[in-house]
A and B are shown apart, each in its own frame.
Chain A
């Protein structure tokens, strides 16, 4: 059974009471209806939270870049300028909406919507905690890879439909870049699926533990390299510097969204910043133990045992700890993404392709085979447990 936010809530007595009450009220089984309402509220919470995180991402980007360049950054709107993103949002809504006369109107309007759908749909499987993930689909990671590729279509259509040379070049670059870097990213994901033995995000996380030596990052040398391959490919897939060629300001004005103004541009930007969060979250889930808390504190069993708390309350405390664990790691990666942008210069297009096809893809394939051989040779044990066990054997001999 796929676990969802609903199956987590269904453990409590109140939930079944509500279902029973509604069933009596409307005269048929209300299970799906209640599930729908819970999903709707939870989706709203997730979308609201992620839109805020995306907005704060733009603020963080400007503030961190200011720090790195010894500037002040935004500091007028709200304390330390933290409300800047709200002001930007209001500004974008108030801006005139210009659609070029020669543009292909339908695709021009469609493109930002595709980006938004592609990014929002991936939120369904982002594992915030073991209880609070919208749906742990049994094809989770595969679904995520598929949905995320919609963004590439949006970027290309945005560039193509504008009928502007800058946009066209940006769109072309975007298309070739996003599809190219999908290969190393996907192959790396496959090698982690191989280690975990399942496609659902929860299976991937459950193969790991809360402590660093239990993470897939340190499972074997191939997975360790795989993390960097995935991270570089994820940067390129989200059009982040040093791979921001589709929107390279200094050469293409603004790349694929040159002709977009106001809120239509804002949707592209929002989608990008949320996508950065999603790929950071996926990197955390795949390599850094996801929401796992050290010493199994996340299950809450220890609170029942030691403090004598109610089982459900203990579980909820565990969930909060898991949320903390997930967000800490994800925001750390988010910071690295921004840090990289303001540190490294942009690549040239042919260098970009060389990096992807002549370095990352062969390395990713090598990692995949390495992981497969490792699984076969060492029966799926991590390098830590192999060393630990052999040390125990040696100690036992003496």
Chain B
């Protein structure tokens, strides 16, 4: 019985449908009985009782945006690592573990080099330290 049977994916579909049903159903159920008296003040965004100043969709300094880029690299890395990890035991039993170990090591080493680079560049810090400008400021003060 090594046939690929799509039946096993049925629960996934059923559960996603159930999630939408439970979420939608509970909101729909409430809409019959809950009060609905909107007014202008009630529909403003909460800003500690003050009237909101401007929109929240303004430009602002997102810290750690570089992390999003590193994340993508590491996410792809782990996605690529899963199949290798899954066959490692079998390969080890037939004596090919060394080859696989070497490929894992070299692959990970490249990634480690990447994270070390980011670390040194200061992308993992709250305030990115620009070394060169700081030296200039210090020399000006003298």
Question: Which residues of A are at the interface with B, using a C-beta cutoff of 8 A?
Answer: 1-2, 4, 6, 31-32, 35-36, 39-40, 42-44, 46-47, 51, 92-103, 112-113, 116-117, 119-121, 123-124, 134-137, 142-143, 162-168, 172, 175-176, 179-180, 182-183, 186-187, 190-191, 193-199, 253, 258-259, 262-264, 266-267, 349-350, 353-354, 357-358, 361-362, 365, 368-369, 372-373, 375-376, 379-380
Contact = CB atoms under 8 A, between A and B. Distances in A.
Contacts of B124: 353-354, 357-358
Contact of B101 (A92, A94, A102, A372): A372
Given A162-B45, A176-B68, A121 B88 contact: no
A380 B87 CA distance: 13
A116 B22 contact: yes
A182 B71 CA distance: 9
21 contacts: A1-B5, A35-B7, A36-B10, A42-B11, A43-B11, A98-B38, A100-B44, A117-B19, A176-B68, A183-B74, A190-B78, A190-B85, A193-B82, A197-B89, A253-B48, A259-B45, A259-B46, A349-B126, A358-B119, A362-B115, A373-B101
A94 B33 contact: yes
Contacts of A264: 27
B22 A51 contact: yes
Given A113-B23, A176-B67, A375 B2 contact: no
Contacts of B64: 176, 180, 353
Nearest to B10: A39
Given A95-B34, A117-B20, A369-B105, A186 B10 contact: no
B26 A361 contact: no
Contacts of B2: 1
A195 B30 CA distance: 49
Contact of A267 (B12, B26, B29): B26
B23 A198 contact: no
B91 to A, nearest CB: 9
* Chain A interface mostly: helix
B108 A43 contact: no
B45 A164 contact: yes
Contacts of B86: 193, 197-199
Given A376-B92, A376-B98, A180 B71 contact: yes
Contacts of A101: 40, 43-44
Contact residues of B: prevailing secondary structure:
helix
A127 to B, nearest CB: 13
B97 A120 contact: no
B46 A372 contact: no
Contacts of A136: 8
A143 B12 CA distance: 10
A97 B31 contact: yes
Contacts of A103: 45
A73 to B, nearest CB: 26
Interface string B13-29: 01110111011101101
A369 B12 contact: no
B36 A96 contact: yes
Can you list the 6 inter-chain pairs with the closest CB atoms, starting with the nearest? A197-B89, A120-B19, A350-B126, A164-B45, A134-B11, A101-B43
B6 to A, nearest CB: 9
Contacts of B8: 2, 4, 135-137
A301 to B, nearest CB: 22
Given A6-B7, A164-B52, A376-B97, A369 B19 contact: no
A190 B82 contact: yes
B67 A180 contact: yes
Nearest to A1: B1
Interface in B29-67: 29-31, 33-38, 40, 42-48, 52, 55-57, 62-64, 67
A78 to B, nearest CB: 21
A163 B62 CA distance: 16
Contact of A98 (B43, B75, B126): B43
A116 B14 contact: no
Contact of A135 (B11, B30, B42): B11
A137 B85 CA distance: 17
